[in-house]
Amino acid sequence: MAVKTTEIYHIFNQKGVLFMKIRKGISAVLAGVMALAALPVSAMSASAEGAYALGDVDMDGFITGHDAAMVTHALYVDNEAMTAEQLKLADVNGDGVVDQSDADWIHENQVYELGKTDKRFRMNAMTVYYQAYCIAADGTGNNGELQYSLEKGADLWEGGSYDDKVLPEVCYNLLDVNGDGVLTVDDILLTAFDVCYMGCGASKTIYFEEGRYDLTEDTIPVDDYQPARINMG
């Protein structure tokens, strides 16, 4: 049976309370296996690796939705989120200021959309899987049972899964859907909502708000929801 758009709106209408409860629930489940720890998004020094293309803010060799997400995260959430090197790469029009026009250009020229783990598909359940795997693998209680490494410069796969536990760095960065530079349970929650939101037909885009290329709880479009009513006369 198809899920109605109004059902998704209703589920997430009380987003503040719900997100808190879901966050605690996921944290408790994962903590039962291993402790969670935030993973810093890998970004090697541009001076050490040579020049990166303008727009490649996270310096993984590709201009992607994650680069645009990092810029709007810095513009609207945390003005000090990017390093001096990243700010230079974000100033794509060279006017000495990083602003919305830079974020828009990066978004328009991205080769991969935020949340992709495979060339063929957009954000889906596999995004959530790899987010959870990477967070769990870095947990302090892992004892080496879950492992992965990042391959710099490697492209996304087209089909299959990363069974050898070697993730392209670009894939890892695209998992950071709120653009804050770390993988946490928040990224999982935002992705899960987004997949449901698109899946029920409520949206054809992964983005919650025009011009915002980072996904955040505050931009989830449920504030204007009105319960369905039948006028009896």
C-alpha span between 53 and 64 (Å, rounded): 12
For residues 102-121, b (16+ Cβ closer than 10 Å) or e, as one string?
A: bbbbbbeebebbbbbbbeee
Query: For the residues 191-197, what does the mean pLDDT come to?
Result: 93
Q: Where does the pLDDT of residue 1 fall: very low under 50, low under 70, confident under 90, or very high at 90 and above?
A: very low
**Could you read off the pLDDT of 210-228 as tens digits, one per residue?**
999 999 999 887 655 555 5
Tell me which amino acid residue 17 is. V
* Average pLDDT over all residues of the chain: 80
Spatial neighbors of 11 by CB under 8 A, at least 6 apart, are 18
CB 12 within 8 A of CB 18: yes
| Residue 44 confidence (pLDDT) above 50 | no
**Could you read off the pLDDT of 51-64 as tens digits, one per residue?**
899 999 999 999 99
Within a domain: 173: yes
**Could you read off the pLDDT of 141-157 as tens digits, one per residue?**
666 667 788 998 899 98
Within a domain: 227: no
Within a domain: 230: no
Within a domain: 233: no
Q: Domains in the chain: how many in total?
A: 1
| Residue 183 confidence (pLDDT) above 70 | yes
Within a domain: 159: yes
Within a domain: 229: no
Q: Where does the pLDDT of residue 165 fall: very low under 50, low under 70, confident under 90, or very high at 90 and above?
A: confident
**Widest distance between CA atoms in the chain:** 73
The whole-number pLDDT of residue 223 equals 56
The whole-number pLDDT of residue 21 equals 53
The whole-number pLDDT of residue 36 equals 30
In terms of residue numbers, what domain contains 41?
A: 5-219
Within a domain: 228: no
pLDDT-above-70 percentage for the chain: 70
> Regarding predicted confidence, which is higher, 45 or 98?
98
C-alpha span between 23 and 217 (Å, rounded): 12
Q: Where are the alpha helices (DSSP H) in 2-124?
A: 5-11, 15-33, 46-49, 65-76, 84-90, 100-108
C-alpha span between 107 and 55 (Å, rounded): 9
Q: Where does the pLDDT of residue 46 fall: very low under 50, low under 70, confident under 90, or very high at 90 and above?
A: very low
C-alpha span between 146 and 223 (Å, rounded): 39
Q: Which stretch of DSSP H or E encloses residue 190?
A: helix 185-199
Please state the pTM of the whole predicted model: 0.76
